Amino acid sequence: MSMKPKELQELIEFINQTGLEEVKIETDKFKISVKRSPENVVSAQPIQQYTQQLPTPVQQQPVAQQQTAVTTPQTEAKKEETTPANTGNYITVKSPMIGTFYRSANPETPPFVNVGDAIKEEETICIIEAMKLFNEIESDVSGKIVKVLVENATPVEYDQPLFLIEPN
């Protein structure tokens, strides 16, 4: 039994979501080691002397390329650009997972919150879709929404700033 490209992709997404630094899986047919580092090392080595080439879906990047696309220096620079340098006494709400950010439950309904809205602790402020699951993200504090840092229906990374809140 060998791992399929989709299974490798899911493994990499799981590692990103959990924050694990390294995962090693070994069976009698293959050995895989995934390690988070500045070089984005992803390696798979068969134990025997033969190599196995996995088919790549036509409209999808290879798994190793997807991993590097997630954490390139350019992505880090974009993240820094979207975070205001002087946040003062504001609290930054960060994404608890990798997924797609949505400001409302569906396209026909208004956003959960807008700039200037007063919010209460545990109030839903957005949704993040991850692996076909829609996760409601709640505020940890009461206060006022000062800035929305992410565009609707865009991908977000783990720990990426989403909102700035001025606490009460």
pLDDT tens digits along 1-39:
566 667 767 777 777 777 677 777 777 666 777 666 544
Could you tell me the fold of the domain covering 82-167?
OB fold (Dihydrolipoamide Acetyltransferase, E2P) (2.40.50)
At CB < 8 A and 24+ separation, what contacts does 143-146 make? 143/91, 143/118, 143/119, 143/167, 143/168, 144/116, 144/117, 144/118, 144/119, 144/168, 145/113, 145/114, 145/115, 145/116, 145/117, 145/119, 146/90, 146/115
Residue, of 88 and 65, whose pLDDT is higher: 88
Looking at residue 24, its pLDDT comes to: 74
Q: Would you tell me how many other CB atoms lie within 10 Å of the CB of residue 65? A: 13
Task: State the first-to-last Cα distance of the chain, in angstroms, to the nearest integer.
Answer: 56
**Could you tell me the residue ranges of all domains in the chain?**
5-71, 82-167
User: How many CB atoms neighbour CB 124 within 10 A?
Assistant: 13
The model's pTM: 0.50
- Mean pLDDT for 68-87 is 42
For the chain, how are helix, strand and coil distributed in percent, rounded to 5? 20, 30, 50
Convert the pLDDT of each residue in 34-53 to its tens digit: 666 544 444 454 444 444 45
